Copies of this chain bind each other. A is one copy, B any other.
């Protein structure tokens, strides 16, 4: 096997620590027991080399030999193809994992991210649009609550889809947005109690603290 190298920022401000998206990749690598190294790029001065790997100037990206992949969802899919601890071998299970990887981003995070921007802004004005975004997230959580009422993990056994969905919902939980959704909250609690998450979180916090 070639070296897997995860690239993240050298430093970030305190607020996003513990939530930088490299945690999704660390979590999957720890869960699968795949050996990897962590590489850093400057948070403040993002150069052409950075943009050649990540065209939006963000992190993370993963290199696997001569393949370089950005987007946490795409990286998780790639890792799922490397380990049956992250994606089952059976075709129906694989298809389920893939659809939930997309759903975590395009159906749930698409609603939770604008909502979280309002929360981060500290803006509490009850505008028409704010009510719209609140309702958009509520609708998605209501349906996820039904999904989790019938299953422990999204695609039969724990997979990269759960890493992505739990990380998306974890940010909602940070702002107490899951209070009315106990099954979603329990799901996040179960997922983040896994030793692989705890290790990934500890490592991310230590990585950024080392640069203070």
Contact = CB atoms under 8 A, between A and B. Distances in A.
A124 B158 CA distance: 45
Nearest to A118: B129
B123 A128 contact: yes
A199 interface: no
A146 interface: yes
Contact residues on A (Cβ < 8 Å of other chain), bracket: 35 or more
B128 A121 contact: yes
Contact of A67 (B71, B91, B105): B91
Nearest to A132: B117
A125 B126 CA distance: 13
Contacts of A106: 71-73, 105-106, 109
Given A105-B106, A121-B129, A56 B140 contact: yes
Interface string A78-104: 100000000000011001001101110
A102 B74 contact: yes
B105 A78 contact: no
A196 interface: no
Contacts of A125: 127
B56 A71 contact: no
Most interface-central of A55, A58, A132, A147 (chain B CB within 10 A): A55
B117 A129 contact: yes
A113 B139 CA distance: 16
A123 to B, nearest CB: 6
Interface string A133-148: 1001001100110110
Which are the 9 A-B pairs with shortest beta-carbon distances?
Answer: A71-B102, A74-B99, A73-B102, A74-B102, A105-B106, A114-B114, A56-B143, A74-B98, A71-B99
